[in-house]
Structure 1
Amino acid sequence: MSESFEEIVPPLTGTARKRRRRRRTALVAVVVLVLAGAVWGGTTIMRSCGTPWSGVSVVDDDCIGVTDGSYEFHPELAHVQEKIAAENARVREATSDYVTLVLVDPLTATARGGLPAEQVRNRLEGAYTALRRVNTTAVAGDASPQIQLLLANQGTSEQQWREVTEEIIDLSTRDNPVVGVIGLGISAKHTQQQAAMLSRHGIPMVGAYLTADGFDYERIPGLVKTSPSNRHYVEALRQYLTAETDIDSAILVRDSNSDAGLDLYTQTLERQFQRQMADMLHFPTQQFAGSSLARTAEPNLFSGVRASICAAAAEGLRAVLYAGREVDLAAFLDSLEQRTCYRLPLTILTAGLELGDVLRGSEDELADANLTIISAATVDAEGWRANQDDPDTPEYYGDFRTAFEEHFHGDHLDDGGAIMMHDALLTAASAVRLAAPEGAASAPTARDVRAQLLNLNVLHEVQGGSGTLTFSKQERGTGVPVGKPVPVLRYPHPDESATRQVGSLYLVTN
């Protein structure tokens, strides 16, 4: 018969007990790591915009990050982003010695300060036009090193813009480094903080629409911009008023959101009106709570302002100095069209705004309401398109327009965003090429490019669509675009004139 028995297990030694505990601990650790990885992976996927590898993730309810154009921020941007992504892929395939620029802008429409999708599209189209020009022609010098363009949605909250900025700083230390930033969004406090952070890390910047005073090389080393400052806009208005009109009295209408110091455009425009138009301000300042980085104004917000304007008109008021943004201007004009003193002509003076979309189709209403708008503008998109041979049209505007219309619809040039972003990238690329005299054999760093910004002077002019620009070191105003024209435009269109421009053309000198 067979003998049956139970397996005898010897007692554990101290060493064996320790070994078993280590095995259990290791098993538990593996399980924890697997679970943590699953949670992290799930969280990453949940936070990602598009694929987990898009470079863009959800931060404070907005898609924030840096992409090569392959992540689509908005359906309206699909066509131009495909072109940018394709150009980037071409550059990477053609050479290993390319460098990188980053376009930083509000690329998604949010209640806290995003631009309309059409304006974002126009800006990206201008950037792409410049990118193709600098990579395939000698407009910025020898077309080497080649340049790829990344897109960064900057956001408005500190967590958003800081995360994007840290990523850009990290990319400036990698292969094919970030050697410059263009765009930089709007003249807001968070933009100033972001620019200061980039400056501390030696990264050069070219602003496209930073019109507030204080965005310059003197206060933020390494920053130049293709737009004038509010000081220049108001000087252009003053030049027009003195030479072309007999207006001698005005009232200032300000956005009270300027008090918090978040909207530097309205804050510094108000300051320049007070400084340069002090002899005209015969009436108490009026204010409204506008939509600077917040909400949309309604016409009834201006009912008190409207009543005060009519009271002042009875005492000889001739003009209103509007220190607000275009998003509130339509509601302000709607309110003024309903004023009881509509028989008294009134001129609205403002600066640096994109008025094409705001005023399109409303000129008859303005005329019926005895309202005239005089705006010191960044560009005269309408006039330059219609009068390309006019002496006041920038010398290289035709070259820009021809290049733009090879890729996009010409009617997008009604908005100045395409011109200004084109000029910002062209400026940055010109500094890149100065910093790389031997082409790809001397691929520059961000600090190399920064050192060349102020060498873009009369010896190396930027052939911009908005003007022939230089950026020499000056006693004041270093970093502003010397040579940039500031056209003063009239709405409704002047009778019997081929252009909206009124008075002699103002040029930025310092």
Structure 2
Amino acid sequence: MPDRLTDRLRRHVRTPRQKLVASVVAAAVVLGLGGYGVARLTTPEDRSCATGVERPEGSDECVGVNGDGHDFGIAALRDIAGAIGRENAPLKEGEYVTVAVLLPLTSTDAGMRTKVLHELQGAYAYQYRANHQSNSQTPKIRLVLANTGKGNAHWRATVDRLTALTGAPDRLRAVSGVATSSTEIRESVAALTGAGVAVVGTTITADDIANGPGAGNNRYPGLARVSPTNSDEAKALAHFGKVDAAKAFLVQDTRTGDHYTDTLKAAFAANLKGAPHEPALFTSPADPTEEGTTANTFRQITHLICDTRAETVFFAGRHTQLRQFINALGSRGCADRAFTVLTGDEGSYLGADEKLDRSALKAKLTVRYAALAHPDAWRAAPGRTVPRTGGSEQAYGDFLKDIARAAPPGNPVALTDGQAIVAYDAMATAVHAIRQATPQGSRYPELADVATQWPQVKGSLRVQGASGWICLDNYGNPYNKAVPIVELAQDGSQRFVQIAWPEGRPPAASCLPPKRG
């Protein structure tokens, strides 16, 4: 019994040395865990996605600039991003300059995701031609992807990153893409051109994201575009359709701040001065890719259209609302009357829109839009000849060879929406300016010299675009650019009708813009 009591005392009563050792061990454990906790609290969270790309605070999107093959977490972009990364990899410092494609790469809108993919494919196709099939012209071109995030919400951080790349080794010399006529894109263009960076818009068509004559109208020095303005689209539609204003009706969005819609409705109104009725109005959601409640409004508007003598309806709005409007017209009360809907290039999204009621197109309803490009525009076909000026079969044939390299095996690039064609032409225009601005004996141009090239892109110095000739006026706007008129067929396919021209006829062989009053 005493022996067992002694053993218990030995287990609970430690010597001074044992107490010291125990205290040291306990302190070490506490300090170690505490240090780990402090480190966790004080070390910034790693929000990087790839070189030049990170997740902004409060967002899971990967935003920034990268040319190493990063796909920004979008599986559909993996192949094309990888191809661009492989093309960039062997380029050596000092032999190349950088061109960025600025787009909302992580958009969740299905139509925008398709647009983004096709634009990257078109841009890469011309990058490859510039580096491998241009008689060893220099500098070579490094292409990088610049993501502005869903709704272009993170444009500022991405633009800041781009302007920081104008020095060595990147030597950013141009930005392409800038493909939507939104407030965020207008501010992006202002910031880039304000920093001396040349910008080539692909599918921006808003008249107020452009330069022009007169004091205060050169807000974006260094901006060029390869697509016609909304005003030119409206003129081309008017020349094509020879619309009787007395039998026309305008449906327009009242949401302001959308530069595509604002300038399109102004252009349509200018061409419908003799229309007998005021426009029918609807208001799209703040994010026009959302459904909202406009479908109900369009159901009511169809009743008003039936009350008129209209035969042609001009629609000034984005593609989601356009689709809702067409669906509503398909079940209109006056089904015995035929109508033609005319709209801008947002109509190009309809072919891939799964929510479009294709049966509506069988109800004496024709839908036509002014496209930016179409694969049949510069290909001869039975009963249709190619215009002798304004574009060429050869330029389009070169594009077809180049774009084949941008597609995964067995999965050719879709061309009917025109996005790949226009993006290819924008890259061609950017590369043209970069190489024209490179002094003889130099390896690359100075930043400021690229943005001054646009007034010379005309006449024999025009760009032979796959979408048609790109002849720029002194303000960087395409002169009398070919406008393919496309009809949405009953099966949802996008059928080329004919080329229309803002000036009513193709440009002269010289392709020199006339002096404006």
What per-residue deviation string (whole Å, max 9, x for no partner) do you get for residues 291-322 of structure 1? Answer: 56344226x62334433443343331222110
- In 1, the alpha carbon distance for the partners of 2:219 and 2:284 equals 28
**Structural mapping, 1:110-149, within 5 Å:** 110=108, 115-138=111-134, 143-149=137-143
- Which residue of the partner structure matches residue 476 of structure 2? 479
* Cα distance, 1:335–1:40 mapped onto 2, change above 3 Å: farther
Any unmatched runs of 5+ in structure 1? 1-31
- Which residue of the partner structure matches residue 194 of structure 1? 188
* Cα distance, 1:207–1:453 mapped onto 2, change above 3 Å: same
- Cα distance, 1:131 vs structure 2: 0.2
* Cα distance, 1:149–1:398 mapped onto 2, change above 3 Å: same
What is the count of residue pairs matched by the alignment?
A: 454
**Structural mapping, 1:340-489, within 5 Å:** 340-353=333-346, 354-355=348-349, 357-358=351-352, 365-384=359-378, 387=381, 390-392=385-387, 394-395=391-392, 396-408=395-407, 409-438=411-440, 441-473=442-474, 478-489=475-486
Q: Check if 1:278 corresponds to 2:277.
A: no
- Cα distance, 1:326 vs structure 2: 1.4
What per-residue deviation string (whole Å, max 9, x for no partner) do you get for residues 160-218 of structure 1? Answer: 11111111111113333111111113000111111111111111100001111022233
Which of the residues 86, 99, 102 maps onto 1:101?
99
- In 1, the alpha carbon distance for the partners of 2:75 and 2:365 equals 38
* Cα distance, 1:168–1:305 mapped onto 2, change above 3 Å: same
Matched AA of 2:180: I
- Cα distance, 1:391 vs structure 2: 0.9
- Which residue of the partner structure matches residue 88 of structure 1? 88
* Cα distance, 1:54–1:503 mapped onto 2, change above 3 Å: closer
* Cα distance, 1:207–1:315 mapped onto 2, change above 3 Å: closer
- In 2, the alpha carbon distance for the partners of 1:179 and 1:33 equals 47
- In 2, the alpha carbon distance for the partners of 1:169 and 1:271 equals 34
- Which residue of the partner structure matches residue 14 of structure 1? none
- In 1, the alpha carbon distance for the partners of 2:36 and 2:94 equals 38
- Cα distance, 1:34 vs structure 2: 10
Contact 2:462 2:470 in 1 (8 A): yes
* Cα distance, 1:356–1:397 mapped onto 2, change above 3 Å: farther
Which of the residues 253, 256, 264 maps onto 2:254?
256
- In 2, the alpha carbon distance for the partners of 1:363 and 1:159 equals 32
* Cα distance, 1:506–1:33 mapped onto 2, change above 3 Å: farther
- In 1, the alpha carbon distance for the partners of 2:122 and 2:190 equals 26
Q: Percent identity?
A: 27
Matched AA of 2:251: V
- In 2, the alpha carbon distance for the partners of 1:38 and 1:386 equals 67
Q: Check if 1:302 corresponds to 2:304.
A: no
* Cα distance, 1:304–1:361 mapped onto 2, change above 3 Å: closer
Query: What SS does structure 1 have at the residue aligned with 2:252?
Result: strand
* Cα distance, 1:422–1:292 mapped onto 2, change above 3 Å: farther
Contact 2:121 2:413 in 1 (8 A): no
* Cα distance, 1:69–1:293 mapped onto 2, change above 3 Å: farther
What per-residue deviation string (whole Å, max 9, x for no partner) do you get for residues 236-265 of structure 1? Answer: 1111232xx55632222112222xx1x110
Which of the residues 150, 160, 166 maps onto 2:144?
150
Contact 2:342 2:367 in 1 (8 A): yes
Matched AA of 2:263: T
Matched AA of 1:240: F
- In 2, the alpha carbon distance for the partners of 1:369 and 1:159 equals 40
Q: Check if 1:67 corresponds to 2:66.
A: yes
Query: What SS does structure 2 have at the residue aligned with 1:412?
Result: coil
- Comparing 307-316 with 380-389, greater Cα deviation is found at 380-389
Q: Which has the higher helix share?
A: 1
* Cα distance, 1:268–1:159 mapped onto 2, change above 3 Å: closer
Matched AA of 1:400: F
- Cα distance, 1:66 vs structure 2: 0.6
How high is the TM-score relative to the length of structure 2? 0.79
What per-residue deviation string (whole Å, max 9, x for no partner) do you get for residues 86-145 of structure 1? Answer: 1111223xx53311111101101236xx8543321111110000000111122xx75211
Query: What SS does structure 2 have at the residue aligned with 1:501?
Result: strand
* Cα distance, 1:428–1:330 mapped onto 2, change above 3 Å: same
Any unmatched runs of 5+ in structure 2? 1-33, 212-217, 508-512
Which of the residues 299, 314, 333 maps onto 2:326?
333
Alignment root-mean-square deviation, CA: 3.1
- In 2, the alpha carbon distance for the partners of 1:150 and 1:502 equals 33
* Cα distance, 1:65–1:59 mapped onto 2, change above 3 Å: farther
- Which residue of the partner structure matches residue 5 of structure 1? none
- Comparing 151-160 with 359-368, greater Cα deviation is found at 359-368
* Cα distance, 1:241–1:116 mapped onto 2, change above 3 Å: closer
What per-residue deviation string (whole Å, max 9, x for no partner) do you get for residues 357-396 of structure 1? Answer: 2579979624431111121211123555684994149311
Query: What SS does structure 1 have at the residue aligned with 2:164?
Result: helix
Q: Check if 1:224 corresponds to 2:224.
A: yes
- Which residue of the partner structure matches residue 240 of structure 2? 240
- Which residue of the partner structure matches residue 10 of structure 1? none
Query: What SS does structure 2 have at the residue aligned with 1:487?
Result: strand
- In 1, the alpha carbon distance for the partners of 2:455 and 2:396 equals 23
- Which residue of the partner structure matches residue 21 of structure 1? none
Query: What SS does structure 2 have at the residue aligned with 1:101?
Result: strand
Contact 1:48 1:58 in 2 (8 A): no
- In 1, the alpha carbon distance for the partners of 2:500 and 2:428 equals 30
- In 1, the alpha carbon distance for the partners of 2:198 and 2:476 equals 11
Contact 1:109 1:115 in 2 (8 A): no
- In 1, the alpha carbon distance for the partners of 2:270 and 2:138 equals 46
Contact 1:59 1:160 in 2 (8 A): no
- In 1, the alpha carbon distance for the partners of 2:481 and 2:69 equals 34
- Comparing 327-336 with 451-460, greater Cα deviation is found at 451-460
- In 1, the alpha carbon distance for the partners of 2:285 and 2:232 equals 24
Q: Check if 1:166 corresponds to 2:160.
A: yes
